Structure 1
Amino acid sequence: MQKIYYQAKHCDGCLACEVACIEKKSLTKSLFMAKMEQPVPKARISFEKFGNHYWASICQNCVEAMCVGACMTGAMQYSETGEVVHNLEQCVGCWMCVMVCPFGAVVPLEDAKKVSKCDLCKDEKTPPCVVACTRKALCYCTPEDYENEG
């Protein structure tokens, strides 16, 4: 299974990945117009700065995901290929998944009173956040490929 890996040593905090995610998740597919959408689209990847370094919060598609275990409606579940997926229609907005995710990767959509998380943009060959990262801090690959890139 491919997932998004983050290498902090390459990140300069430009946030191009966040911008690409917001644009992709917007209804208009336009960053300019996204600011006027309701609800305003939110990035499924976020960054915090610690000293001179940045740290990404993005879904790790855990094998034993706490968000799946905490979801009382089954809105968080595993796909056939092992990714953690979220069904927005089943979500009741209890935000238990937000509270238990150790990576801060489940995003509250306060306007919709639901949550969201990275869906790896399955309709794309490579997620736009990875494409936007010119410093190669994000890698969309298998665990084996990530280990070999090291």
Structure 2
Amino acid sequence: MKDVIIRPELCMGCRSCEVACAVSHSKSKNLFSALGEDPAPKKRISVEYMPAIEASVPITCRHCEDAPCVSVCPTKALSKDTATGTVNHNLERCVDCWTCSMVCTRFSSLYQLILASGCWTSSMANNYGVIDRRTEEGTVVRCDLCEGRELPACVEACPTHALVFFEVERRQEANSFSFS
């Protein structure tokens, strides 16, 4: 399965990924038109500055192989696509219970360094940027890897290539990744 790989050492914190993501998920798909849309388009990626490591880190959904968010969703609004490996979100079924966010393991492997260095932020505690509220519609928003696009908008917009889109082979037992 292809996944967005984050290379925080290359991130300069410009937030181009956030803007591109919001525009990609807007009605108009145009930056200037998206600015006036109601409701305003929401990003599905967030850039967090980590003072302890003096680096900015983009945060987005991993589309986990054994996605706990899917198994706990009481309305089955989240489902795993076995063909693509992505976690899909059905807006009509979502009741904004926020259970998915409480069990999100986004930080379990990629952010072990961040946790070890003691730079856990309050917004990370709420999985901000991984699963976010879309309160005007009563649902949550999360990364869909820009379904229908060859390359996710965040990856395409990153000027330093801190975000890359790779074929990833996941190994369950070691919770490690192998790039093809």
- Do they fold alike, i.e. is TM over 0.5? yes
Residue in structure 1 matched with residue 14 of structure 2 by the alignment: 14
User: Which stretches in structure 2 are left out of the alignment for 5+ residues?
Assistant: 107-126, 170-176
Residue in structure 2 matched with residue 86 of structure 1 by the alignment: 89
Which residue among 78, 81, 93 is the counterpart of 1:76? 78
Aligned ranges 1:54-133 → 2 under 5 Å:
54-81=56-83, 82-103=85-106, 104=127, 105-133=130-158
Shift of 1:33: 2.5
* Letter aligned with residue 66 of structure 1: P
CA distance in 2, matches of 1:54, 1:16: 13
- Could you tell me whether the CA contact under 8 Å between 2:167 and 2:179 is conserved in 1? no
Residue in structure 1 matched with residue 172 of structure 2 by the alignment: none
- Could you tell me whether the CA contact under 8 Å between 1:98 and 1:108 is conserved in 2? no
Residue in structure 1 matched with residue 23 of structure 2 by the alignment: 23
Cα 1:20–1:142, aligned 2, differ >3 Å: closer, same or farther?
Answer: same
- Could you tell me whether the CA contact under 8 Å between 1:107 and 1:115 is conserved in 2? yes
SS of 1:143's equivalent in the other structure is strand
Percent identity reads 39
CA distance in 1, matches of 2:41, 2:105: 23
Equivalent pairs, count: 148
CA distance in 2, matches of 1:99, 1:35: 31
Deviant stretches of 4+, over 6 Å? none
SS of 2:42's equivalent in the other structure is coil
User: Which stretches in structure 1 are left out of the alignment for 5+ residues?
Assistant: none
Shift of 1:131: 0.7
CA distance in 1, matches of 2:166, 2:24: 20
CA distance in 1, matches of 2:138, 2:46: 20
Residue in structure 1 matched with residue 164 of structure 2 by the alignment: 139
Shift of 1:147: 4.7
Residue in structure 1 matched with residue 116 of structure 2 by the alignment: none
* Letter aligned with residue 70 of structure 1: V
CA distance in 2, matches of 1:91, 1:75: 5
TM-score in terms of structure 2 length: 0.76
